[in-house]
Structure 1
Amino acid sequence: MDMSGSQRIEASREKVWEGLNNPEVLKQCIPGCETIEQVSPTEMTAKAVLKIGPVKASFNGKVTLSDLDPPNGYTISGEGQGGVAGFAKGGATVRLEADGEDATILHYEAKADVGGKIAQLGARLIDGTAKKLAGDFFEKFGQAISPKPEGEEAPAEPEKKGWFGRKK
């Protein structure tokens, strides 16, 4: 599976770089991430629970950063084992481009391979899930590192309604 894209983030390139290298920020943003630990300046271990179609699995993985070019980008590669559900391995090239003083364009090109029960689900389901997870990550990442305007609070949750528009 190959995937590429760009995301505009309302933060300086230096702040985006710091966020991409901060395990606490990454833990908040990676869908299903339960733990992430920095083992060395270029290695992290992580545990995430993901649901891909009917298969829910807990993955234990290792992530390695290489080709570091602060604050312009790096290459990230990783491998995760999901027990009987299978495995996932892949990598991405991340490039940061300043967009004025207060915004950054994050470009990425990623490749991934899966095996085991997950691979039996079919490419369309896996690709769709991967794109959704990437979208969720970038949305949360942008929110985590973008400065909030003064006096602005988080938006209130919409009122929940049940059948026929009645309040719950």
Structure 2
Amino acid sequence: MRFSGEREVPAPVGRVSDALHDREVLCSVIPGCEELVPLETGLYAASLAARVGPVADVYRGTFSVEDVRPGSAIRVRVAARGRCGRLDVDLHVTLSAGSRPGTSALRYHADATVRGFVSRLGTATLTVAGSHFTGCFFNELARSLRRETGSRAASLV
């Protein structure tokens, strides 16, 4: 499956790049993330709970974030297994200044492969689920960046 799109978030590029490398932020914005345990810089042991239709599972594996071009392009890879199958994701994200001052545009392209029992749900169902997870991730990232901006402003008063 392939996903691509663009989202705008309420923070400058540098802050968004920092957030996408911050374990606590990632853990709070990745839908179903139960844990991200650092193994080395940018590499984590991950546990993710997911439900697609009638199939619920916990996927365990690795999650990595690496800079392709520091501050402007990252690559995220996920390789995980659960009782119902296997999930592999290769996500490329480019960051640039958004259409409004103080915002960032994130353009993303992802290739995802689902194997095992869960793949029997079909491409249409899995594509809808992938789009839903992607939307939730970007909504939570925007919410997290807004909260942080609000707290920083409050601490300056």
TM-score (norm 2): 0.89
Deviations 1:40-95 (A, max 9, x none): 11311210110011100000020233453221011111201012x00000211110
Within-5 A mapping of 1:92-131: 92-99=91-98, 101-131=101-131
Question: Partner of 1:138 in structure 2?
Answer: 138
Q: Quick check: 141-150 or 117-126, which moved more?
A: 141-150
In the alignment, the residues of structure 1 paired with residue 96 and residue 120 of structure 2 have an alpha-carbon distance, to the nearest angstrom, of: 38
Question: Partner of 1:39 in structure 2?
Answer: 39
- Aligned CA RMSD, in angstroms, stands at 1.6
Q: Residue 11 of structure 1: SS of its match in structure 2?
A: coil
In the alignment, the residues of structure 1 paired with residue 53 and residue 5 of structure 2 have an alpha-carbon distance, to the nearest angstrom, of: 24
In the alignment, the residues of structure 1 paired with residue 45 and residue 116 of structure 2 have an alpha-carbon distance, to the nearest angstrom, of: 21
Shift of 1:38: 2.1
Q: Name whichever structure is richer in strand by fraction.
A: 2
Q: Residue 71 of structure 1: SS of its match in structure 2?
A: coil
Deviations 1:114-148 (A, max 9, x none): 01111011111100011001001100001101223
In the alignment, the residues of structure 1 paired with residue 140 and residue 51 of structure 2 have an alpha-carbon distance, to the nearest angstrom, of: 18
Instruction: Check whether the contact 2:25–2:144 (CA below 8 A) recurs between aligned residues.
Output: yes
Moved runs in structure 1, 4+ residues, more than 6 A?
A: none
Question: Partner of 2:30 in structure 1?
Answer: 30
In the alignment, the residues of structure 1 paired with residue 110 and residue 131 of structure 2 have an alpha-carbon distance, to the nearest angstrom, of: 11
Shift of 1:13: 0.5
Shift of the 138–114 alpha-carbon distance from structure 1 to 2, 3 Å rule, reads: same
In the alignment, the residues of structure 1 paired with residue 17 and residue 70 of structure 2 have an alpha-carbon distance, to the nearest angstrom, of: 7
Q: Residue 150 of structure 2: SS of its match in structure 1?
A: coil
Unaligned runs of 5+ in 2: none
In the alignment, the residues of structure 2 paired with residue 137 and residue 78 of structure 1 have an alpha-carbon distance, to the nearest angstrom, of: 15
Number of aligned residue pairs: 150
Question: Partner of 1:88 in structure 2?
Answer: 87
Q: Residue 21 of structure 1: SS of its match in structure 2?
A: coil
Shift of 1:101: 4.5
